[in-house]
Amino acid sequence: MLYSLLFQSAWKTLKCFGADKKRLNGELGMTAVLHTWGQNLSQHVHLHCLVPGGALSEEGWHAAKGHYLFPVRALSRYFRGAMVSAIRKADQQNKLHRINDPRQVDEGLNGLMKKAWVVYTKPYLKQPETIVTYLARYSHKITISDSRLQSINDEQVTFRWKDYRDKDKHKVMSLSGEEFIRRFLLHVLPKGLMRIRHYGFLANRCRKTKLARIRDVMTQQQAAEIAPGTGHDKEIDCFKPADGRCPKCKQGRLVVIAEMPTKRIVGGERRQPLH
């Protein structure tokens, strides 16, 4: 139940921010991967979310104005409210079967609302292949790999781990066999739970058609920007400094020998004027 509420609350937060007319005013897309463990096999439940830098609407494609989609503080507060509200609702509907004392939910959630929640965001400006590799680390890994195991005997298991709170230092930890198995089993997901989910224009039922529409809209928008009389003239003008100097080295003299039309999009990039 909590894993499902985590997915729902994360998407509710991003969907709301994306639809805001003061922000992107459109539909976002998201691929989320559930990750439950820390390096020492502790329970550290969180989502890794990959979100394209823009939103789709009836008017077209609204690209993000910067490297970051939304302010993290606002995201954190909205996500906290959405998650706590979802848990309260699940409790009212008697869906939290392991809770026997109703006061536990109220006391726990009231305490959580007083804490600052963390939403960590970062731009991913590298090649698409590196993004796929990044997600694969979380979608196709188990709690601990064999390479991290140092030794095993009848009494304990010893393994390597990275302490992120201590400047990413590599350390060695030894646990009793029972404790090692207990921690490992914390990360065995319930049968049938989907740990990779797609939302918005990346949802399985509409991804093919909506991605095709996004590519078509983006191509039209790019062509309009570089059409004669609009962005094309500005683009050419930036290569014609008034004093005739080269815009790069500022020393040599720039001589225009030809200008190539920029209407065509080649390999996803605009052709620049040839000088």
- The structural domains of the chain, with segments of one domain joined by +, span 2-143+191-206, 146-186, 226-270
Q: How confident is the model at residue 260 (pLDDT cuts 50, 70, 90)?
A: low
Residues 90, 35, 52: CA angle, nearest 5 degrees: 95
Interaxial angle between packed helices 102-113 and 72-92, expressed in degrees from 0 to 180 and rounded to the nearest 10: 170
**Tens digit of pLDDT for each residue in 124-150?**
766 777 777 777 777 777 888 889 999
pLDDT at 246: 72
pLDDT score of 94 more than 50: yes
Q: Is 263 exposed, middle or buried (0-12, 13-18, 19+ CB in 10 A)?
A: middle
- Phi, psi of 219, rounded to the nearest 5 degrees: -65, -45
pLDDT at 16: 95
pLDDT score of 266 more than 70: no
Mean of pLDDT over the chain: 83
pLDDT score of 274 more than 70: no
pLDDT score of 104 more than 80: yes
pLDDT score of 272 more than 50: no
pLDDT at 241: 55
Q: What is the pTM of this model?
A: 0.75
**Tens digit of pLDDT for each residue in 177-209?**
999 999 999 999 888 899 999 999 999 999 999
